[in-house]
Structure 1
Amino acid sequence: MPTITKSNINYDKRDLNDKVLLRLYYNMLRPRLIEEKMLILLRQGKISKWFSGIGQEAISVGVTMALKPSEYILPMHRNLGVFTTREIPLHRLFCQWQGKASGFTKGRDRSFHFGTQDYNIVGMISHLGPQLGVADGIALANLLKKNGQVTAVFTGEGGTSEGDFHEALNVAAVWQLPVIFCVENNGYGLSTPTNEQYRCKHIADRGKGYGMESFILDGNNIIETYTKVKKLAESIRKRPRPILIEFKTFRRRGHEEASGTKYVPNELMKEWEAKDPIENFRSYLFSKKILNQEIEEQYSSEIKADIDRSLESAYAEEVITPNKSDELSDVYKSFEYQDIAPNKKVNELRLIDAISEGLKQSMEKHKDLVIMGQDIAEYGGVFKITEGFVEQFGKERVRNTPICESAIVEAGMGLSIAGLKAVVEMQFSDFVTSGFNPIVNYLAKSHYRWQQCADVVVRMPCGAGVGAGPFHSQTNEAWFTKTPGLKVVYPAFPFDAKGLLATAINDPNPVMFFEHKALYRSIRQNVPTDYYTLPFGKASKVREGEDISIITYGAGVHWAIESLDANSEISADLIDLRTLQPLDIESIIHSVKKTGKVLILQEDSLFGGIASDISALIMEECFEFLDAPVKRLASMETPIPFAQQLEDQYLAKSKLNDVLKELVAY
């Protein structure tokens, strides 16, 4: 039994009864005792890494107890108290940290990098910032469902330097989302002190800059944290809005244990040790005769017994046996494609009209579908694809966004976590760089990591041919075909675009949907008027021939058609891939084995493009059938220029006729 001294924190119990006070104490003691055990195991080499939250338990516990179990919390790696207060079985937590199957990520991720729908917790990724935008998406879903629920999301003072923080706060303020941003200001971002992180006096001041209420709380005072957050949450449920809370606290261990704390002055460490949230609350409860030695010992022995029992069962569990089939099958959520055949009635539509019609019919079919993007509401988008959508579906489902690609992709992820669907429009595919991280690190990896699908379609107006220069003309599909977990669709015709977009929205996995701007108004085709779907991973044979196989997609299909029309003596299989991930390997191999010659055409520059992978695939699978080297044709290894004569020179189209004739004659 530790010595009980006078509390260094001033507590005001207000109207809290003894049962609640004891529960607050128990819920703080539990993560503390678990951490003390973990530090021993770390020194023994029985766990690989640990991020300690010792000294910060009051924040995790206070916030979690202030929320309802049905409300989502997005914690960080020092918020063990969130997980334990939500009553996650310790056996599962210990298995998670040991990479065992009974954890939450099947050994695929460590520590607190996981979520669980069973406990309404969404864990972090190492990039820190994206979870703030994800919280916005969950809060938006709550707003749309009108369920009166609050979302709480954590970050540290270091994380507030990331752009995601500012984007998420701005979106939450503009949309008045019911979310509480919890910033644990613990003095150091790893070793960088706050005076090297920001210049404002308090992080809470930033909330005012975004037009939201903000508060500063003593993060070591469990009563102040619990009662204030509880009161604010009740207020937000009645009047949805975002609130920023800065919790003043301190991290008394290293960023992670290997980091140490040599950079912290001894006086500062002693000052915060004296403010320990558990020791001080224990002293207060003893002084008020709410806690006694018997209850204290009961709590301690109960928690320690649970720790020992759970550790024993976690150690006893067999290590994961690697299984390639299991690994590959979990990259994507299983999706049972439903073929909805097109009707007989058709209208001649441009590519842009077919996409608009397909999107509108999907909005009618899926009442839980939300589309988000810059200028897509009353203005109808820069290409007018969503013109008239606000009048039909309302501003709740057709949402103009601030200029913040990252936060909006993250919001799409949050909507998916909350059970809704999202379509995010990049105004131009070039701008996806500003939202690249959440796409490749959050959307793409979520199902593999913790079986959470990312039901998000990212629309990507792309491509050259319109004289738009280096920042509005890229076709950047190769950035995403490289990333397991994403599906990549790239139609060349109105009929395909409409049916593939319907499938993309039905698919619960993240889909990058490329739409070539130069084809928007230049390509027309008869398109069925009703809703229909087309399967992914099935290429289209646009032309059939014997001399050569031309494999391409997007604008390349139309370049190839023009070239073949101009060279009628060439008999070619023209394969329009339509989807790049999944790829129709069977159609490629079948065609190449038939013709013996192959030209792979892409609009993107050559190095690192998908043509290289298809070429390697053909060499591996069809080498003995080839009558000529596999030829790749792509655009120049430069950024895309603006002036038409320079753009014409840049594009692979300018070289196509000569290369095609040369290869056929080989």
Structure 2
Amino acid sequence: MNFDRKSLTDQQLVHFYQSILKPRMIEEKMLVLLRQGKISKWFSGIGQEAISVGVGLALDPDEWIMPLHRNLGVFTSRNMPLNKLFMQWQGNREGYSKGRERSFHFGAREHHICGMISHLGPQLAIADGVALAYKLRGLGKVSVTFTGDGGTSEGDFHEALNVAAVWGLPAIFIIENNGYGLSTPVNEQYRCDSLVDRAKGYGMEGVRIDGNNLLSVYDTIRGVRDYCIREQKPYLVECMTFRMRGHEEASGTKYVPKHLFDEWAERDPVKKFEEWMVLQGLLTYSEIEGIRGAIKSEIEQELALAASAPEIVPDTEEELRDVYSSGGGMVRSEVVEAAGSIAAGAGSEKRFIDAIKDGLDLSMQRHGNLVLMGQDIAEYGGAFKITEGFVDKYGKARVRNTPLCESAILGTALGLSLEGYKSMVEMQFADFVSVGLNQIVNNLAKIHYRWGQNADVVVRMPTGAGVGAGPFHSQSNEAWFVHTPGLKVVYPSSPEDAKGLMIAAINDPNPVLFFEHKALYRSISGLVPEGYYEVPIGKAKTVREGSGISIITYGAGVHWALDYANAHPEISIDILDLRTLLPLDYEAIRSSVSRTGKVVILHEDTLTGGIGGEISAWISEHCFELLDAPVMRCASLDTPVPFNIELEKNFLAKSRLAGIVQKLLGY
């Protein structure tokens, strides 16, 4: 192994040796603790340390890194306190995730490290978002993310690299090619000669290097970093290496031919660098023993500190509270003032679609750090023309057409959040969110609970049937997200609420799914205040008070209920517009139930698994004494949404509302 020191000083080289030795010695200690049952799981990076350490040393300390399982050297090179790392691995409250996450599934803002999730691929697009933030601010920085040879088979790899290339982002993508994805060898993962060959296909540069040579990794990353900043382009680096232990300790290594261990043992990154340091006269064996002794002493002292941490005592209120980030939103006086102007009738008549646009426009004016992203949203103005004219007002840097890749753009939005940006991602149709589901339910939704990082992202969801668009442009999929802690789900029915909820969603520091019924865009109008105001998330609205029967609903269902009520003045109907589906306004639900004692829950979504089942269960558990009849649900058929208009009418819940109301009244 040839080491080229170039301009590195003797002192730097000694520091490099200490830096690569430290994670090795920590790992050796962790393996002992694993056998003793003091930690539950370990993903070993023994044999791969040169990559993590070389990358960590090559970057500025305030440049974000997105590491994976085998990147302990990233954490140690950022000088994270060992006792806190040990507590993290032991599942202690005083670790980085309050005992909520395992091993390396965590991050730390102060160290500019964003922890992984088990799905691996979503990490890559976060680097896009961080790099975009650097680019927008004109900072001379890069983001760096890791993947393995197996991870390159995921769609997220393709999407993240393509976005980085198309947008010219200063991001470095590092492949740790250790020959195996768990037990699957690379010849069963890909057929190209080398993974770096893929770089050209994305229109970026790439290089393949010896991942066991610390100085090669360091020098390469330093040079690539300079290139990415200077050219404002991404770069792909394939590091050839080998994992000397199992994917994780329980999996073993029986699937690996023995001769590979023998061959790679001769290329051990720690041993080879140590030998070179001695040959160069930079260290003596006596000095090496001194360094080892100092690291060992530090490990034992830090372990003792970690061992003294108290046991976790679960606090249910804290657990629930930490699901969401606090803050955001307008001050209370502004909300009250806006409510007063609405009551006074100070506003103008606007269509539903124009109210959404108004809320977005005012938010772009209020928040200079708000970035809009979506397919065709720039010059074209989006599929429904909501962002038409925005690119002329705010520029292409903030109103960004995206490639056709929902997952990467949602990951990019999370990366922007790491650097303090707000973002809005438009799904062209709510149906298409399924290909970005992982980013929403596992990355955006959980990150604050996991390690305190908020995801300041709004996802706009043009939804619903009634326009003859068929099975893939008409779904009501809000229930997918109501089941996911950490998300907020809003669904306005009126122009006034659409504008106020849009502003509130963008002000909120948490991920918000904003559902907009397509059939309401140009068919519904109403008085909308001209100013900048919020409709509070989590608050339902009584649209009409009554004493005979309650219809609890949202979205287009509000208008179906109003049409029915207007056609049947002989029935005293109480209509509650939920407006927010997560969190639900249980107080408003109870109030409506108490006024009538008979409840229909109406929604356009299909019956089975729809939110109506959850609300019905809650009413039965908490309002049973107020009921005069069973809670009934009125929902669409348990079929895909049909294309033919007559079939679609039959599918929709609206066609069954009259029958269910009459059945309940006659109970």
Task: State the match for 1:156 in structure 2.
Answer: 148
1:320-345 CA-partner distances (Å, limit 9, x unpaired): 11010110100001136424333464
Task: State the match for 1:239 in structure 2.
Answer: 231
Task: State the match for 1:645 in structure 2.
Answer: 646
Quick one: distance in 1 between partners of 2:603 and 2:427? 22
Matching residue's letter, 1:145: R
Quick one: distance in 1 between partners of 2:541 and 2:349? 20
Query: Are the counterparts in 1 of residues 196 and 238 from structure 2 also a CA contact under 8 Å?
Result: yes
Mapping 1:314-325, distance limit 5 Å: 314-325=306-317
1:438-479 CA-partner distances (Å, limit 9, x unpaired): 100000000000000000000000000000000000011100
Shift of 1:361: 0.4
Task: State the match for 1:410 in structure 2.
Answer: 411
Query: Does the residue aligned with 2:19 lie in a helix, a strand or coil?
Result: helix
1:202-255 CA-partner distances (Å, limit 9, x unpaired): 000111100000000100011111011111112222221100000000111000
Matching residue's letter, 1:364: Q
Quick one: distance in 2 between partners of 1:460 and 1:529? 24
Mapping 1:39-188, distance limit 5 Å: 39-188=31-180
Quick one: distance in 1 between partners of 2:17 and 2:182? 28
Quick one: distance in 1 between partners of 2:530 and 2:141? 40
Quick one: distance in 1 between partners of 2:227 and 2:663? 73
Matching residue's letter, 1:413: L
Quick one: distance in 2 between partners of 1:137 and 1:476? 26
The equivalent position to 2:288 in structure 1, one of 296, 299, 304, is 296
The equivalent position to 1:19 in structure 2, one of 11, 33, 55, is 11
Matching residue's letter, 1:74: M
Identity of aligned pairs, percent? 60
Matching residue's letter, 1:156: G
Query: Does the residue aligned with 1:53 lie in a helix, a strand or coil?
Result: coil
Quick one: distance in 2 between partners of 1:18 and 1:63? 20
Query: Does the residue aligned with 2:543 lie in a helix, a strand or coil?
Result: strand
Matching residue's letter, 1:575: L
Task: State the match for 1:635 in structure 2.
Answer: 636
Query: Does the residue aligned with 1:604 lie in a helix, a strand or coil?
Result: strand
Task: State the match for 1:371 in structure 2.
Answer: 372
Task: State the match for 2:601 in structure 1.
Answer: 600
Matching residue's letter, 2:522: R
Task: State the match for 1:226 in structure 2.
Answer: 218
Quick one: distance in 2 between partners of 1:472 and 1:155? 34
Query: Does the residue aligned with 1:362 lie in a helix, a strand or coil?
Result: helix
Quick one: distance in 2 between partners of 1:309 and 1:120? 26
Quick one: distance in 2 between partners of 1:225 and 1:620? 61
Q: When the two structures are aligned, how many residues end up with a matched partner?
A: 658
Mapping 1:351-390, distance limit 5 Å: 351-390=352-391
Shift of 1:534: 1.1
Matching residue's letter, 2:602: L
Quick one: distance in 1 between partners of 2:482 and 2:582? 6
Is 1:268 equivalent to 2:251 in the alignment? no
Query: Are the counterparts in 1 of residues 328 and 509 from structure 2 also a CA contact under 8 Å?
Result: no
Quick one: distance in 1 between partners of 2:149 and 2:640? 38
Quick one: distance in 2 between partners of 1:542 and 1:228? 64
Is 1:561 equivalent to 2:562 in the alignment? yes
Mapping 1:493-532, distance limit 5 Å: 493-532=494-533
Task: State the match for 2:615 in structure 1.
Answer: 614
Matching residue's letter, 2:200: K
Give the direction of change, closer, same or farther, for the CA distance of 1:394–1:336 in structure 2 (3 Å limit). closer
The equivalent position to 1:37 in structure 2, one of 19, 26, 29, is 29
Task: State the match for 2:209 in structure 1.
Answer: 217
Task: State the match for 1:467 in structure 2.
Answer: 468
Shift of 1:538: 1.2
Shift of 1:568: 1.2
Quick one: distance in 2 between partners of 1:520 and 1:109? 42
Q: Normalising to structure 2: TM-score of the pair? A: 0.98
Quick one: distance in 2 between partners of 1:25 and 1:312? 25
Task: State the match for 2:319 in structure 1.
Answer: 327
1:537-565 CA-partner distances (Å, limit 9, x unpaired): 21111111110111000000000011111
Task: State the match for 1:279 in structure 2.
Answer: 271
Matching residue's letter, 2:209: L
Unaligned 5+ segments in structure 2 are: none
Quick one: distance in 2 between partners of 1:136 and 1:260? 35
Query: Does the residue aligned with 1:211 lie in a helix, a strand or coil?
Result: coil
Query: Does the residue aligned with 1:281 lie in a helix, a strand or coil?
Result: helix
Query: Does the residue aligned with 2:506 lie in a helix, a strand or coil?
Result: helix
Task: State the match for 2:660 in structure 1.
Answer: 659
Quick one: distance in 2 between partners of 1:336 and 1:378? 30
Query: Are the counterparts in 1 of residues 175 and 238 from structure 2 also a CA contact under 8 Å?
Result: yes
1:144-177 CA-partner distances (Å, limit 9, x unpaired): 0111111110010000000000000000000010
1:489-542 CA-partner distances (Å, limit 9, x unpaired): 000000000001100000000000000000000000011111111111211111
Query: Does the residue aligned with 1:352 lie in a helix, a strand or coil?
Result: helix
Matching residue's letter, 1:360: D
Quick one: distance in 2 between partners of 1:382 and 1:21? 57
Quick one: distance in 1 between partners of 2:173 and 2:283? 32
Quick one: distance in 2 between partners of 1:546 and 1:348? 31
Query: Are the counterparts in 1 of residues 328 and 507 from structure 2 also a CA contact under 8 Å?
Result: no
Query: Does the residue aligned with 1:349 lie in a helix, a strand or coil?
Result: strand
Quick one: distance in 2 between partners of 1:600 and 1:253? 56
Quick one: distance in 2 between partners of 1:166 and 1:415? 20
Matching residue's letter, 2:262: K
Task: State the match for 1:433 in structure 2.
Answer: 434
Quick one: distance in 2 between partners of 1:69 and 1:228? 18
Query: Are the counterparts in 1 of residues 546 and 595 from structure 2 also a CA contact under 8 Å?
Result: no
1:308-328 CA-partner distances (Å, limit 9, x unpaired): 011111111111110101101
Query: Are the counterparts in 1 of residues 414 and 444 from structure 2 also a CA contact under 8 Å?
Result: yes
Matching residue's letter, 2:92: K
Query: Does the residue aligned with 1:199 lie in a helix, a strand or coil?
Result: coil
Matching residue's letter, 2:552: I
**CA RMSD after TM alignment:** 0.9
Unaligned 5+ segments in structure 1 are: 1-8
Task: State the match for 2:481 in structure 1.
Answer: 480
Query: Are the counterparts in 1 of residues 601 and 612 from structure 2 also a CA contact under 8 Å?
Result: yes
Shift of 1:646: 0.4
Q: Normalising to structure 1: TM-score of the pair? A: 0.98
Shift of 1:570: 0.7
Mapping 1:390-401, distance limit 5 Å: 390-401=391-402
4+ long deviations beyond 2 Å? 335-345
Query: Does the residue aligned with 2:408 lie in a helix, a strand or coil?
Result: helix
Query: Does the residue aligned with 1:118 lie in a helix, a strand or coil?
Result: helix
